[in-house]
Amino acid sequence: MLFTHRSSQRLFATLLLAACGTVQAAPEPAGNVATAALPGTISATTSATSSTATGSLTDPIMNLLGERGLLRPLGSSALVESVRNSVRDTASDLVMQAMNFLGVPYRRGGNTEETGFDCSGFTRLVFENSVGLVLPRRADEQAHAAGLLNINRQELKPGDLVFFNTMKRTFSHVGIYVGDDKFIHSPRTGSEVRIEDMRDSYWSRRFTGARRADLSAATPQLQTTR
């Protein structure tokens, strides 16, 4: 079956929201990352059912990401599993909003779904739409924006901005960390918004820093499903 961009994106959003809606709100065992309660969560007495249901719901998400080439490197079962767990256990409204734009084409200077995104246009729209925080327009400006905390790589959390030197210039590229060394970004001309692994040699060599916004001071926005 051939999906248009809009139909596949609506399916991504629906599956992601459904998967997160099944996560239990009860405290999880030590070592796991707890997820905030969402409407439609189930009780702790059915935790085993929750784990099974969540896994079954996220499988179609991973399949679609692989089919559309949005999850790299392809063919890695470990990568698929790690991203599945990241989506299930650590997804915030900001990360969910970012994933809603998977597959949108790259466009230099673009800052909307209709026109396409460049890297900083993507991060700026996601932050503004999800938490009401307006970032500067350029990647290097976002790296030096007032109020953003400098974060070590070992301390990264979902929703942090991650920066790379891709044009022989520090902070020339930016994405959003989604957990387990994965980030989502709008890479380059001819590509589209996708998830990649920061441990890949290309990104590992070019990582130049991370920033964290004080989301408690931001104004939450109503998320829309397209």
Give residue-wise pLDDT tens across range 60-79: 556 666 665 666 554 455 65
Smallest Cα–Cα separation from 122: which of 178, 66, 193? 193
Distant-in-sequence, close-in-space partners of 52: CB < 8 Å, separation ≥ 6: none
pLDDT at residue 218 in the model? 58
List C-alpha distances in Å: 197 to 9, 74, 168, 179, 201: 21, 11, 21, 10, 9
Annotated catalytic residue 173? yes
The burial of 214, by beta-carbon neighbours within 10 Å (0-12 exposed, 13-18 middle, 19 or more buried), is given as exposed
Catalytic: which of 5, 20, 144, 185?
185
**What's the rounded Cα separation, in Å, for the pair 114 and 67?**
22
pLDDT at residue 12 in the model? 54
Annotated catalytic residue 144? no
pLDDT at residue 39 in the model? 33
Catalytic: which of 5, 20, 119, 144?
119
pLDDT at residue 31 in the model? 39
SS3 of residue 47 by DSSP: helix
Distant-in-sequence, close-in-space partners of 132: CB < 8 Å, separation ≥ 6: 218, 219, 220, 221
pLDDT at residue 93 in the model? 81
Annotated catalytic residue 185? yes
pTM beyond 0.85, yes or no: no
pLDDT less than 70: residues of the chain: 1-91, 215-226
The burial of 128, by beta-carbon neighbours within 10 Å (0-12 exposed, 13-18 middle, 19 or more buried), is given as middle
